[in-house]
Amino acid sequence: MIRDKVPHGTSRPGKEVQLVWQESPFQNKRFDTCSVVGNGGILKGSGCGKKIDASEFVFRFNMAPMGDKYSRDIGNKTSLITINPSMIGYRYGKRKGIDVKSFTHDLSVYGDSYLWIWAFLSKRHASGAFKVQEALRATGARNQVIFPYPLVTGALISFWKKHISAQRPSTGLLLVSLATQMCEEVRLYGFWPFHADRNNQRLNEHYYDNALPTKVHKIPSEFRQLQLLHNTGVVRLTTHPCQ
């Protein structure tokens, strides 16, 4: 099993952040069923919400929108949510720190889920991640922040770069990898890189908008890898309406 570790940062003005490494909160846990929820446009109108929520543990990523508007298709349950460090600065960055009020407001829709941040891809990313952790502590938020151990992140990226010609694998693919180590049965929803479904109906890029994907990732190549995992029984990939 992949074992990650959780650093708790403490800092004072003018002081460097000190990290105390702790064992993963999932070290001795194994979940029977897990849903990994992608953000693909194929989820819109899918009616998959109840099936997603029926899993024991639900992964979501990049703090994608939730709420009554989407619940029938994506569900309401969240066990772990991710945010990329670059998104912290883009969405919530201020001249000195982050917009704590906006961040905690957006995070609240995920309840007391774990907050997973890929903190150690660069020094700049780590700085933003630490600011989020400190902000959540200051507000008394119940979300436990997890920074995956750098060797774990590096091993996952190195593995997938052998199979995918991309600058970096997407958060979705990395989460699928994590789920296979934590769960007996892994169910995937919202992973579909095409702009039309199996019935040739037009789809947006995401279930909530039509923003174009970054060129850093090779999503069609990743999808082929997910199909291989599905065909060999490692995961269950849902690419049709759940009704």
E strand map for the chain: 5-10, 18-23, 31-37, 57-60, 80-83, 93-94, 97-98, 114-117, 145-146, 183-189, 236-237
Q: List 10's β-bridge partners, or say none.
A: 18
Give buried/exposed letters for 56-93 (b at 16+ CB in 10 A, else e): ebbbbbebbebeeebeebbbbbbbbbbbbbbbbbeebe
Q: Where are the domains of the chain?
A: 24-237
pLDDT for position 124: 66
Q: List 81's β-bridge partners, or say none.
A: 60, 115
Mode of pairing for the β-strands spanning 93-94 and 97-98: antiparallel
Q: pTM for the complete prediction?
A: 0.88
pLDDT for position 19: 52
pLDDT for position 122: 63
In whole angstroms, give the CA distance from residue 166 to residue 162: 9
pLDDT for position 84: 87
Which is the catalytic residue, given 8, 195, 217, 230? 217
- The position carrying tokens 């890898």 is 225
24-237: in CATH 3.40.50.620: no
pLDDT for position 20: 52
Which portions of the chain are predicted below pLDDT 70?
1-21, 121-125
In whole angstroms, give the CA distance from residue 144 to residue 150: 18
pLDDT for position 5: 42
Active site residue 217: yes
pLDDT for position 39: 96
pLDDT for position 96: 73
